[in-house]
Amino acid sequence: MKIFHLSAECYPIAKIGGLADVVGALPKYQNEVGEDSAVIMPFYNNNFTKAHKFITVFNDEIDLGNVKYPYSILKIADDSLDFDVFFVHVEDLLYKDYVYSENDIDRFLAFQIAALDWILTLENKPDILHCHDHHTGLIPFMAQESFKYQSLNKIPVITTIHNAQYQGWMSYEYLYKIPEFNMKNIGLLDWDNSINPLAAAIKCAWRVTTVSPSYMEELKKNANGLEHLLANESAKSLGILNGIDTDVWNTETDAFIIDNYNQASVASGKHGNKRWLCDTFNLDESKPLVAFIGRLVGEKGAELLPEVFRSILQDKEANILLLGSGLKDTEEQLNALKNEYKGNYNVYIGYDEKLSHIIYAGADFLIMPSRVEPCGLNQMYCLRYGTVPVVRSIGGLKDTVVDINNNGFGICHNEVTITDINNAINRALDFYKNKTQFNSNRKFIMSLDHSWKASANAYINLYNSIN
């Protein structure tokens, strides 16, 4: 089966969040079981593309309204990845040193139109088009409705929602840029009096998936305005839990971490990584290390973290280390705490892939007090690395973490409040004191299987059911 994944992000090429990790792993695991799975994505001017050579497989131009843009389809010249990636290079629009900006309508319209134009020319067309998030949300509509793509309308199109809070809204001023279609069907584009690419994808895709079963159910009640639509389309919708790439996230072979380890050597291995973190960030090695890795935004409960950290550091014997960036006010408050709690607290504002791996390996606990968490990968990474997750029970966190009080292995809380988060962290610190139980739990959580194998097969079964 020939599968094309269409996405704005793909690890290790361009990563902003979990979308990149998914698109960078799912094709690999699908190929391992005998499918022909590849990625189509924009060509950005970033560190990855600067470090690689490319070959041109196709040249043409697209019509974007009244303007023509030349474009190329590029492919990496070597075999450095485990799957093919085809890059849509529109120099005037996509060739930027960033993935997203405040107004990306023309950029991602061009990406989607160029991708479909190229697919039209292929003698061996794909059996499945698998679209990811709103950046590719118009592809299900155009493949079904635009006159120029009529020869593609028998190809099943899947849409996976990674985060329904972002929908790609655009005004009807952009309508003339979408390849011509029967205007009687304009309602397929509309939601709340604007063109809504994610809503159009939900309406037109053959199947709609979310990145966890719980998130699918939650979206029927809280989907930033799409609740009614998702409830109506529930017959063709299902949640498939994301996995993680266990080749990349492997404590025995991870080249980023300071000391490699396995289940048998988890205590010494994690201690070596913790020692490096404490030396680097001026923390007390003898105390439990609580970490946060992620975007500093409301979805992650980030604006509560300064007060949460202050409370924990005043009352408990603990270290706290944060890696992330986002809301400037939150960044400033978190930075200010460094002066108050030297020796037990530090932050790294920004993102560093190597540092994130070392934190997963060296921390004792990872907190995720999320308001919205469609799947979450951080909790799977920390489990794989023997770090106990402290999470709010929502979305994929609910599907992957069971509380220790329910014969589980993590710490869970129900609300995103300072009190609830503090209580959960305090429970974690109390759990840390029982060394025998804590060390046994670390070994157990490392044995949990959250690899992509089961998820990749679930998607293949989905494809087969409609192809």
pLDDT digits (tens, 9 = 90+) for 72-102: 999 999 878 989 999 999 999 999 999 999 8
Cα–Cα distances in Å, from 147 out to 105, 106, 142, 389?
Answer: 22, 20, 8, 50
Average pLDDT over residues 431-442: 97
**Are 240 and 462 in contact, with CB atoms under 8 Å apart?**
yes
Asked if pLDDT for residue 179 goes beyond 90, the answer is: yes
Classify each residue of 147-160 as buried b or exposed e, where b means 16 or more C-beta atoms within 10 Å of its C-beta. Answer: eebeebeebbbbbb
* Res. 364: pLDDT tops 80: yes
- Per-residue pLDDT tens digits for 314-337: 977 899 999 999 999 999 999 999
Please list the residues that pair with 320 across neighbouring strands.
290, 345
Determine which helix (DSSP H) or strand (DSSP E) holds 422, and give its type and residue range: helix 418-433
pLDDT at site 428: 97
Per-residue pLDDT, averaged over 137-158, amounts to 97
Task: Please state whether the peptide bond connecting residue 70 to the residue before it is cis, i.e. omega within 30 degrees of 0.
Answer: no
Torsion region of 237: left, alpha or beta (phi above 0 gives left; psi -120 to 50 gives alpha): beta
* CA 396/CA 100 separation, integer angstroms: 25
What pLDDT does residue 160 have? 98
| pLDDT at 6 (0 to 100) | 98
Strand partners of residue 289: 319
Helical ranges in 220-362 per DSSP H: 227-232, 266-281, 305-315, 328-340, 353-362
pLDDT number for residue 22: 93
Q: How far is CA 350 from the centre of its chain?
A: 17
Q: pLDDT band at residue 13, thresholds of 50, 70 and 90?
A: very high
Q: Is the pLDDT of residue 163 over 90?
A: yes
Quick one: average pLDDT of 37-47? 97
DSSP state of 190: B
337-342's contacts with Cβ under 8 Å and 24+ in sequence apart are 337/306, 337/309, 337/310, 337/313, 340/310, 340/313, 341/309, 341/313, 342/282
**What is the rounded distance in angstroms from the CA atom of residue 40 to the CA atom of residue 346?**
39
Half-sphere CA count of 417, side-chain side, radius 13 A = 5
- Residue pair 9/134 in contact (Cβ under 8 Å)? The answer is no
Q: What is the mean pLDDT of the chain?
A: 96
| 101, 365, 385, 427 from 431: Cα distances, Å | 43, 11, 18, 6
The amino acid present at 173, given as its one-letter code, is E
Task: Please report the pLDDT score of residue 161 as a whole number.
Answer: 97
Which letter does DSSP use for residue 244 in this model? Answer: B
Reported as a pLDDT band with limits 50, 70 and 90, residue 31 is very high
The backbone torsions φ and ψ at residue 23, rounded to the nearest 5 degrees and listed phi first, read -70, -25
401 closest CA partner among 430, 377, 423: 377
Strand order of the β-sheet with 84-89 is 54-64, 67-76, 84-89, 36-42, 2-6, 128-132, 157-161, 207-210, 237-239
CA–CA separation, 399 vs 375, rounded Å?
A: 8
Does pLDDT of 276 surpass 80? Answer: yes
Q: What pLDDT score does 80 carry?
A: 81
The number of residues making up the chain comes to 467
In this prediction the pTM is 0.88
Q: What is the CA radius of gyration of the chain?
A: 23
**Per-residue pLDDT, 78:** 86
Q: At residue 109, what are phi and psi to the nearest 5 degrees? A: -60, -45
The pLDDT score that the predictor gives to residue 355 is 98
pLDDT reported for residue 324: 96
- Triad 8, 10, 15: Cα angle to 5°: 85
Give 303's pLDDT tier (boundaries 50, 70, 90): very high
Q: What is the mean pLDDT of residues 17-44?
A: 95
Beta bridge partners of 195: 170, 190
Give the C-alpha distances (Å, rounded to integers) separating 66 from 63, 177, 208: 7, 8, 33
Quick one: pLDDT at residue 454? 87
DSSP 3-state percent helix, strand, coil across the chain (nearest 5): 45, 20, 35
Please determine, for residue 230, whether its predicted confidence score (pLDDT) is greater than 80: yes
